[in-house]
Structure 1
Amino acid sequence: MRKYELMTIFPLEEEKSKVGLETLRADLASFGAEIEKEEVFGDRDLTYEVKKQKRGHFVLFTLKLNPAKIIELDGKFKFNNNLLKYLFVLIESKNV
């Protein structure tokens, strides 16, 4: 298992954001991801419109996940209509 950061953007509407977040958590759990930290960044302007939205609700996850599951999760996230954008970033371990 490797450590990743997952930045997510949800719509501003509270109901859509809540449903999108619950669906995302359930998807992560079903693929064996261990959520270590969840940090809410709040509502922010988007650089460009995404699905006709100019603002979004940002949430950052720190998680452990099998690298082979990233592609499967990517496919699953595409069907989450309440998730505007997401990005996985691998956290490199420093061996000093």
Structure 2
Amino acid sequence: MRQYELTVIFPLEEDQNKAGREQLLTDLNANGAVIDKTDEVGDRDLAYEVKKRRRGRYVLFTLKLDPAKVAILDRSFKLNANLLKYLFVNIEE
């Protein structure tokens, strides 16, 4: 298992934020991810408009995950309408 940072931008609306977060955590747990740390970065302006929104709620996850599962999670995150953007970054040891 490798260490990753996952940065996610959720919509500001509480119902979409909560639904997006629940779906994300369900997907991570189903694929065997071990979440070490969760940081609420807060609400910020986006550099450009994403899905007709100019602001989003940023959350940073530090997790351990099998590298083969990243592609599977990438596909499921693309189908999650309650995620504006996400980025996996591999943390070198």
Give the SS at the match of 1:78: helix
Of all paired residues, the percent bearing the same amino acid is: 62
Q: Which residue of 1 aligns with 2:48?
A: 48
| 1:37-90 deviation per Cα after TM superposition (whole angstroms, max 9, x unaligned) | 010011000000000000000000000000000001000001100000000000
Residue type at the aligned position of 1:80: N
Q: Which residue of 2 aligns with 1:9?
A: 9
Q: Which residue of 2 aligns with 1:73?
A: 73
Q: Number of residue pairs matched?
A: 93
Distance 2:46 2:62 in 1: 22
Please identify the structure whose Cα radius of gyration is greater. 1
TM-score (norm 1): 0.96
**RMSD after superposition:** 0.4
Give 1:18 shift.
Answer: 0.8
Give 1:29 shift.
Answer: 0.2
Residue type at the aligned position of 1:67: P
Q: Which residue of 2 aligns with 1:58?
A: 58
TM-score (norm 2): 0.99
Unaligned runs of 5+ in 2: none
Unaligned runs of 5+ in 1: none
Poorly superposed stretches of 4+, deviation over 3 Å: none
Q: Which residue of 2 aligns with 1:21?
A: 21
